[in-house]
């Protein structure tokens, strides 16, 4: 998929949205791919990076009560193989991962099997939502929770892009977990002329980028699909 994205980025501005920190993005993606992007929205959209320089950062001071609750949740978890650190703090977000934020794929799979049997994250999510109504808590992945203030959400990503590209028609590709989690406000903020496609994986993105390139070169005709098809994973 990287080569398709690099080629497409030569034709149109491209941004990456990641729930992870910018440092984590640097570890996961090639330097060449990152350089081809106009920008990277990291930490669930609270930061905008361009060519390794921070352009925008939204910050939030989490209360002591909230930190104490999160620490208590981790301490009281019955998961027997917790690995520190279990809490990751971004500029405007907190992530709880009882398997450990630096866990290996095998350790995460072990935790997911345990969580499927005990359903602990759902209980934590419900309790947190009741106690801190001014925050949003998302089932970020199968093994983690993401906490963000209600005053900030991912819809601001679209605002930042439109300010830089005023007449832009946005085309986005989001995974189902992102749409049901932290990227839901962004998904809901797209206008009627924008296209938001929910994809199953990199192969879907490669095929869709190829189609967009053919449309831009006149080899394909653009057509409107029903929303039910556009959003099918």
CATH number where 41 lies: 3.40.50.1000
**CA gap 178, 135 in Å, rounded:** 18
Averaged pLDDT of the chain: 86
In this structure, are 115 and 174 located in the same domain?
no
Reply yes or no on whether the pLDDT at 219 is more than 70. no
Q: Average pLDDT of 165-169?
A: 83
DSSP 145: E
In this structure, are 86 and 197 located in the same domain?
no
Query: Which pLDDT belongs to residue 220?
Result: 52
Cis peptide before 222 (omega within 30 of 0): no
In this structure, are 106 and 29 located in the same domain?
no
Query: Which pLDDT belongs to residue 70?
Result: 93
Q: Using H for helix, E for strand and C for coil, what is the string for 146-173? A: EEEECCCCCCHHHHHHHHHCCCCCCEEE
Which of 149, 169, 196 delimits the end of a domain?
149
Q: Average pLDDT of 199-225?
A: 69
Query: Which pLDDT belongs to residue 4?
Result: 75
For residue 171, the enclosing domain spans 2-58+153-230
Q: How many domains does the chain have?
A: 2
In this structure, are 50 and 123 located in the same domain?
no
Of 8-17, 66-75, 92-101, the one with minimum mean pLDDT is 8-17
Query: Which pLDDT belongs to residue 7?
Result: 82
In this structure, are 131 and 158 located in the same domain?
no
Q: Average pLDDT of 70-90?
A: 92
Instruction: Report residue 232's pLDDT band, with 50, 70 and 90 as the boundaries.
Output: very low
Which of 129, 149, 169 delimits the end of a domain?
149
3-state secondary structure of 88: strand
pTM: 0.82
State how far Cα 188 lies from the chain centre: 14
Q: In angstroms, what CA-CA distances link 203 with 138, 159, 210, 222, 223?
A: 26, 28, 11, 21, 21
In this structure, are 157 and 54 located in the same domain?
yes
């Amino acid at each position: 998929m990287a080569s398709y994205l690099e080629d497409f980025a030569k034709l149109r501005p491209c941004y990456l949205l990641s729930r992870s920190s910018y440092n984590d993005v640097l570890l996961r993606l090639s330097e060449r791919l990152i350089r081809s992007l106009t920008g990277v929205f990291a930490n669930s959209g609270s930061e905008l990076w361009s060519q390794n320089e921070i352009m925008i950062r939204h910050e939030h001071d989490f209360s002591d009560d909230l930190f104490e609750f999160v620490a208590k949740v981790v301490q009281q978890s019955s998961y027997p193989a917790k690995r520190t650190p279990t809490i990751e703090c971004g500029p405007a977000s907190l992530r709880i991962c009882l398997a450990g934020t630096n866990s290996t794929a095998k350790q995460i799979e072990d935790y997911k099997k345990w969580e499927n049997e005990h359903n602990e994250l759902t209980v934590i999510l419900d309790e947190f939502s009741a106690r801190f109504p001014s925050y949003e808590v998302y089932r970020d992945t199968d093994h983690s929770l993401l906490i963000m203030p209600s005053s900030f959400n991912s819809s601001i990503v679209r605002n930042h892009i439109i300010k830089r590209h005023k007449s832009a028609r946005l085309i986005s590709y989001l995974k189902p977990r992102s749409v049901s989690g932290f990227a839901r406000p962004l998904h809901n903020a797209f206008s009627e002329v924008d296209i938001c496609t929910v994809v199953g994986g990199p192969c879907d993105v490669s095929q869709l980028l190829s189609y967009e390139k053919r449309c831009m070169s006149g080899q394909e005709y653009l057509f409107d699909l029903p929303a039910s098809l556009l959003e099918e994973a």
